Amino acid sequence: MKKPLTTTLSALLPAFLLVVALASPPAAAAGPDHRHGRHAGHGACQRPGVLFCEDFEGRPTGHRTAPRWDVESSAGTLRVERESRRNHVAHVRTEGNGKAFLTVRGLDAPAGTFYGRFRVLVDEFPTSPDWAHFTLVEATGTGSAEVVRPFGGQFAPTVGPDATFYGVGADGGPTGDWTNWRESAPTVAGRWQCVEFFWDGRDDTIDVWLDGVAQPDLSVSRTDHGGNPVDLVLPDVDTVRFGWQLYQESTESFDTYLDDIALSTRRVGC
């Protein structure tokens, strides 16, 4: 006696579902992108007090400008790239002592005081020539001739052949050309780090955090900094640059990656 078609299909259905289950890849578990070091959908741009924010997720690859920022470069480039399956980042590449900055103009921080936050990965830091120094953030404005670098660093050959350290610095003003690097803040190459700084234009101080941890050794103030023995007077900032610049002649090229840039009246955090 011939079995009904519906009965035959019912008998085959469990085996069919088993085959499909075995052939299908497992669903990706929700969670942080550990390679990039952050959770997707961090939402910093929607937080109160944000003056500027850029996470590059809405920018097509190859993008070089936006309504609130442009690129300043010399022997260097800055382009939006896909860093992983779900993240866009800015890739800065320079040759020798070149530079490339994402430049934010028209910043208007109440009382000249604000927080900065960005994530950065530098492939390799310079280890020649002696005392080579670099900038990752630079701020300028009115009321002071100082060109201030809230975050950068320097190669210190007296410490070791590959010894590079982070530090705050400045140039172009009465305090002269200096980078206040500290051995307590060695550079980290090839890994994402979250950098924060607090720019206090009321008291002329700068404080720094790395991956959420305060770095008091890197703080500078009006009378305690790394330059000439005169007061450091911070400008009333209207322009902030994020990227890379090396100031000494070099035959090397440098790759720096930026993401999750924010300037805010409140600390954004990592």
Answer yes or no: is 184 within a domain: yes
Answer whether 151's CB lies under 8 Å from 261's CB. Answer: no
Amino acid at residue number 257 = Y
Answer yes or no: is 89 within a domain: yes
Kindly report, residue by residue over 156-211, the tens digit of the pLDDT: 999 999 999 999 999 999 999 999 999 999 999 999 999 999 999 999 999 999 99
Kindly report, residue by residue over 203-223, the tens digit of the pLDDT: 999 999 999 999 999 999 999
CATH of residue 190: 2.60.120.200
Question: Considering only CA atoms, which of 90, 78, 94, 208 is closest in space to residue 148?
Answer: 208
**pTM (global) more than 0.75:** yes
Number of domains in the chain: 1
Answer yes or no: is 161 within a domain: yes
Answer yes or no: is 225 within a domain: yes
Answer yes or no: is 201 within a domain: yes
Answer yes or no: is 252 within a domain: yes
For residue 107, what are the domain limits? 49-264
- Does pLDDT of 15 surpass 50? no
**Total Cβ atoms within 10 A of residue 263:** 24
Average pLDDT estimate for 31-57: 65
210's tokens: 């790395």
Answer yes or no: is 195 within a domain: yes
